[in-house]
Amino acid sequence: MKKLVERLNAAFNLTEDLVNGLSVQELELTLGDLPSNTIGEQIWCIVGARESYLQAVIHNEWIGFSCSLKDLTSHSSVMDSLKSSSKACIDQIDSTDLNDTQIDYLFTLLEHEIQHHGQLIRYIYGNKLHFPKSWNERYTV
């Protein structure tokens, strides 16, 4: 369990580090002419997954997807949502004796977060933005 928490924390921290270095205008970027949503909408999905999988862990069953992040035009709102969703997940893990179903939800959450990291790498390259040092060290980008 300790290793899972370490990996979740690392993934959450990487996401926050990347988004912290983006401007509001950069959160509105897409992948040019390719079918894509915005970077901010990618973050909305990340926050929603954190919140939704947290509810699945709490209730020991999938409740459905929902996201409290409404304002993608406010950098502080986006960062607050990333931080609060990360903290809520880790706090729940630390205070719960998890069963196999709950652990599976958390592994799926980790996979989801990392899958978005791959997508975000494409957005950063596609828009000629810069990666924070933590991403260079983790993903050799």
Asked whether 12 and 6 are in contact (CB, 8 A), the reply is no
> What band does 1 get if pLDDT is binned at 50, 70 and 90?
confident
Mean pLDDT of 124-136: 97
Determine what percent of the chain is predicted with pLDDT higher than 90. Answer: 96
Whole-model pTM: value is 0.96
Alpha-carbon distance values, 98 to 4, 21, 59, 60, 120 (Å): 12, 34, 11, 9, 31
Q: Encode pLDDT of 50-88 as tens digits.
A: 999 999 999 999 999 999 999 999 999 999 999 999 999
Q: Report d(CA 124, CA 25) in Å as an integer.
A: 13
